[in-house]
Homo-oligomer: A and B are copies of this chain.
């Protein structure tokens, strides 16, 4: 196809007046429908938890017992190693970082007094990096790949610089890479020698049960690995039901050593009397067990898999084998990560926006929004209807071709 033909095709697609938002990994209404029965499980005559707590009243700083039981299995920690939060694991991560800044962990004192730095494997989750930027924590990029972060880079960084206080990890179905931390990566994270004695891994297991295929990889248990290595306080684990039940009204949780959980509670008790226990009760009644969560997630997969397949098939049909871009076929999670040839991603995102398809800003998956090669584009297939997704991906593919030919 000549560039003139391509430009005509782009113009024709633009003229369709599409208006699609693919900027964020939002569940579709059909996915949210799966959890509707939950809304009926707490009503005027059953607001008391199984252990006898009136869930309407104050109290329960770190969560209902039943919620701890269910979600400790989910996070793969002990019941003594979990705290139940509100509706957002982002809030738990943010607040943990804030508390580290203001109070610190050890005799080394508050991070804020130590010009802290944080390792940000990228491409990664923009909201993680934004927490660092906002708090004035220097973000240091390391490469993020299909097996997790490049551990050679990580180990070289942390061995001698006590100002490096931690690392962000999305261990399974990474956002946006789809990467899955290998046993070797987990083991190296748990055992590596670190200059800072108050270093913390922020382990955001956002997609732990969010499989797209029947085959469901497991990953090594980071907390157990840290404990076995004599570094029990090295990791904070985070999770939520935001992409399991309701994205805006789920239950968030965090895990770690009892020492770390005591530290969290010592700050949390100043900030709140406790999170919404009625919503915790809805969740524990809806699921009861991990088996039920897995069955529920299979229904999500049945809705999501065809959407991912649609994006992949259109990309393959339009630009497969051209070398203009490569992309992954994730086994789970919410994103496809696409790389153009260098210096084209911003152009593609802009062309797509002009044709009515809003994508996450180019570079968003990198610290300081700076993709050094300007190649990475995050595709979020979950929200649009499948027909819209077909059109949107066609537009994206045409924009990639156009940007590539215009150079």
Contacts and interface: CB of A to CB of B under 8 A. Distances in A.
Given A276-B87, A277-B249, A279-B276, A44 B55 contact: no
A278 interface: yes
A330 B56 CA distance: 26
Contacts of A254: none
Interface residues of A, number: 53
Interface in A3-58: 24, 26-27, 29, 32, 35-37, 39-40, 42-44, 47, 54-58
Interface stretch (A91-99, A175-183, A231-239): A91-99
Contacts of A56: 32, 35, 246-249
Contacts of A35: 56
Given A57-B26, A87-B86, A242-B58, A249 B273 contact: no
B40 A248 contact: no
Interface string A67-110: 00000000000000000001110110011001001100000000
Among A42, A54, A135, residue most surrounded by chain B Cβ atoms (within 10 Å) = A54
B271 A249 contact: no
Count of this chain's copies in the oligomeric assembly = 2
Nearest to A250: B276
Nearest to A29: B54
B130 A270 contact: yes
A274 interface: yes
Contacts of A44: 36-37, 39-40
Given A44-B37, A47-B39, A86-B87, A58 B98 contact: no
A87 B95 CA distance: 16
Given A27-B57, A47-B39, A134-B267, A88 B249 contact: no
18 contacts: A32-B57, A37-B44, A55-B248, A55-B249, A56-B247, A86-B86, A86-B275, A94-B270, A101-B102, A102-B102, A131-B270, A134-B267, A246-B278, A248-B273, A248-B275, A249-B276, A249-B278, A279-B279
